[in-house]
A and B are shown apart, each in its own frame.
Chain A
Amino acid sequence: MISNFVRSFSRSLTTRNELVHVQKHFEGVEPEKRDRESFLAAVAQFKEKRGRTHVEFINTALKYMKDYGVHKDLETYKTLLDIFPKGKMIPQTAFQKIFLHYPMQQNCCVKVLDEMEWHGVQPDKEIHDIVVNAFGEWNFATKKVKRMLYWMPKLKHSNKYLDRRHVEGKSLSPSELAGIALKMMSRDPAAAISLLKLPEDAWMVTSQSLSQQKLIEDLKTGDEIFVDRSTVYVQDNKIDYIILSGPPKLPPLEEFKKEEMDENYENWFEDWKKRRTEARRSIHEQDFEIIYALGALYKNDNTTAFRWIENLQKTNKNLETLRIRLRLDGNSKFNAI
């Protein structure tokens, strides 16, 4: 497949043996056909000719990477870095080691690595070996690769709330993304996330736990309960979600207990027993609202939210007696001031 592209390129561009501007390699492909294979084909075609202009070529290629959609692909970066001649640019004398040997090429390599870092692509041993073969073990560009190899793995999983491996490199459907987002946002380990598939590509995801169901049961008839919408980011995906919440019933939590140095030990045991059996405040009862459920819908408007509430009523009977205010659409009177 690649060789077909190469042949068509050669025919179209070098029929008259004239100088081809480097950009033509990439501009020549129509926008619809710009994808990974055509990019690799352009690179392969350049490599065939083996010109001296690899720095310009690589710089130009970098500009077009996003256009061709290969900016997150490790193999493409490897082929790009492979263009550098091996062994020629390794400093031999001490003088060469002190000063930046082949500065243009090294800066170009650093630009490629920078682009990799910007898009969050992690290099692996092969990239390190390619750069070492091109520039030597302790050179400016290889130091950048070594730094990337040290720091990127260390910080890759620093997010305790989201496992990137579930999101990166996968094309997830909106409902799957919504499920991941709800899992990230639900801080109660007992939260159960359920997906309801409706006909015609419609879906609704709900996240609710037992304690939330209990809280709904405790509500009295006629209490108000609100449905609002908000957005959350899962890596670079923006996901809309809805919150079922109500006014708080308990005063704001005293988060810090002042330590008292002279403690009163009378009735310590009974006090402790009483405190132990007392109802504990659940994580859903926040200072300014109580959160009864989280959800995500395929379409964010009041009618869909109503269907979602209806679905929730199957597990929370008490919802039927409450007054539900849907605030998804902009024209509700409870909306922003």
Chain B
Amino acid sequence: MIRLVPRSIHRLATRASSAKPADVTKTDEKPKFAIRSLETSENVEKRSLSRGLALNRFEKDFMIYPEYSDSDDVKNIEGFCEVLRNSLSLTEDAKKIEKDGELSAEVLETLRNNAIFSVGIGKEFGGLALNNKDLSKIFEELSVDWNIFSNSHVNLIVSNIITIYGTQEQKSKYLPLLAQGQLRAAFAVSATSLDTCQITQSAGKTLLNVENLRIVGRHNPNFFVVFGENNSCYLIEEAELGTGDKVVFRRDETLGLKGLDVGKLDLTALVDDSNILGNPSQGQEVAAELIGGGRLSFAAATIGVAKRTLRDLSAWCNRTPSRKTTRSSLADDSRSQRIVTDLALKVYALESAVYYLSGMIDEGISVVVDIENALISMLARETLQSMISVQLELNGLAAIDSNFPYEKNIRDITTVLSLFDDSNDVEQIALATISTWATSSSHKRIVSTLKRWLKNEKESDEMRNPGLTHYIAEHAHPSLQAACQELEYSMTRINTVISKLMTSQGKNIEQDYGSLEALVNVMKNNLLMVSTISRASRSYSIGLRNSDIELAWTTILCSRLSRATWFELDQLSDLFGLVKFNPSLLNVGRAIFDLNGYAIESPIEKNW
């Protein structure tokens, strides 16, 4: 069969008009990871994938999986990663890092030789300015040891915010030093809290004063990113401190990630406007961007770790004799296969989504990726948690034996999960979507009960048998027809449910955490479905190795996710007739906090 044009050319033709490669560096300098509202009601589906899907609008360009247009680029990055992998395997010594509490000199040398610290920094400041796909691939390799990853990660996100918010002198001052690894950054934002420093202003100068400020950063930090009470972000370089300023850092002992510094800072410093990052009172935004900018690389590192875990697990299961059947290995047990299925599907979905998102950003078109970014980091967290449980279930005693490398993984993963990321901000994601939904489609609150009841019948029928309107299956490989249909059904259902919720509740939905959470789950599933379908379609069409396995996995994944979505939405739409139980979700948690714990009486308690 003759092809019209090779697929990549076709893609470039449709995207080239809007891609301006010269502008890519400029878009790098715009904040893109903090969740914000998107008012443009026209063509929402072209600007944001998740919002468009929630609105039941489909844009066919999103079904094209982004890829490198030049095969040489692929060879370059793979060669780079190969070199990195080999040099890391030579120098990395996990036990030494744990004992010393820092990355060894050889590892640091390797990182410097491979220019890891400069990957996120623009060319004019001595960096490599790699695009996101390259970054994801590199961080997949770096996650061979979580300590190595987290040190590079800290560097990446701090250089990211300086690139976006910094003035020209700040950039030229700090970025080259960061690129060489001489500036070791630490920041005062954690997953759950934003501690601020006291500010005293006097005569144009500001005094920052804080004790026991919790910071996270590279070992022996000499560059601090702190936030003031006045909602400003300050950059403090230890070398620049004057006399009378004091910086004392006390390191804490952590369960894992022994190569990363987590500790408390005592800071007293006299700063002026040149230390402020961005505009004054932009602190919250900077903090959000700081955390948000690291999500993609975090997810990429998760993928790397998960792939290595799967490889180790398969070697382990193939060689361990099964307890249930003689002369057969653990790999033949259905239970092991089931457990690993879940992890493998999660990794596949996460990998598709991460490279989809990075490719999307690289293409340079004006696509808003904030929601997808947050969803991906939720997925990454889920995958990490699932990795721990899989290792416990399959490796058994070896998982906790210090002679095996597994227990270090578990410790490191738990530490990482506690430190990074706050993306589980369900309310923010859901409300951003719904507000776009509200502005884009006209609806009115229906107060009359009768009208609501009549609409109910029609809507419940639509939930069960949604029709096909977009015919997504035409944009993917014909063998993925079933998966595409599931995606369409999911889109129709979510639209129906949101409209139902909005008509009955309006703005009160802000307080309905249960609905918001269900909505976010559904959006996560949608993103996964789109990225896996487009990836499998591309792999199968160009004939990659094992692409028929990809097709099978995508079909399984989409059918399961679609069912899960239907279930969630069905729960939400059970409005009329039964009392809505969703608000009671939060009541239980509220009760625990109010009553100072679990206040229910023990079952054996008697009353008389």
Contact = CB atoms under 8 A, between A and B. Distances in A.
| A and B, direct touch (CB closer than 8 Å) | yes
B327 A280 contact: yes
Given A150-B2, A154-B543, A157-B546, A280 B318 contact: no
B71 interface: yes
A251 interface: no
A125 B6 contact: yes
Contacts of A280: 325-328, 332
B321 to A, nearest CB: 8
B543 A214 contact: no
Interface in A257-271: none
Nearest to A214: B327
Contacts of B325: 276-280
A150 B328 contact: no
A125 B543 contact: no
B324 A277 contact: yes
A285 B329 CA distance: 15
B205 interface: no
A278 B3 CA distance: 54
A255 B140 CA distance: 44
A55 B343 CA distance: 58
Contacts of A147: 1-2
A143 interface: yes
Given A157-B543, A157-B545, A150 B326 contact: no
Between B326, B327, B546, the greatest number of chain A beta carbons within 10 A of the residue's beta carbon is seen for: B327
Contacts of A72: none
A253 B285 CA distance: 68
B318 A190 contact: yes
A124 interface: yes
B544 A157 contact: yes
Contacts of A190: 318-319, 329, 331
Interface string B571-587: 00000000000000000
Contacts, number: 59
B314 interface: yes
Interface string A137-164: 0000001001101100111110010010
A156 B542 CA distance: 10
A189 interface: yes
Interface string A103-129: 000000000000000000000110010
Interface in B320-366: 321, 324-329, 331-332
A128 B6 contact: yes
B327 A211 contact: yes
Interface residues of B, number: 25
B545 to A, nearest CB: 4
A282 interface: yes
A158 B1 CA distance: 18
A302 to B, nearest CB: 32
B9 interface: yes
A203 B605 CA distance: 76
A189 B314 contact: yes
Nearest to A143: B2
Contacts of A143: 2
A153 B327 contact: no
Interface in B565-607: none
A125 B7 CA distance: 11
Contact of B1 (A150, A189, A210, A277): A150
A109 B46 CA distance: 43
Interface string B381-395: 000000000000000
Nearest to B2: A146
Nearest to A211: B327
Contacts of B329: 190, 210-211
Contacts of A128: 6
Interface of B: 1-3, 6, 8-9, 71, 314, 318-319, 321, 324-329, 331-332, 542-547
24 contacts: A124-B71, A125-B9, A147-B2, A154-B542, A157-B543, A157-B545, A157-B547, A189-B331, A190-B319, A190-B329, A190-B331, A210-B321, A210-B329, A211-B327, A211-B329, A276-B325, A277-B324, A277-B326, A278-B325, A279-B325, A279-B326, A279-B328, A280-B325, A280-B327
Given A125-B6, A149-B3, A160-B546, 12 more contacts: A128-B6, A143-B2, A146-B2, A150-B1, A150-B3, A157-B543, A157-B546, A190-B329, A190-B331, A211-B329, A278-B325, A280-B328
Q: Which 10 A-B pairs have the closest CB atoms?
A: A157-B545, A190-B318, A154-B543, A153-B543, A280-B328, A279-B327, A279-B326, A146-B2, A189-B318, A150-B3
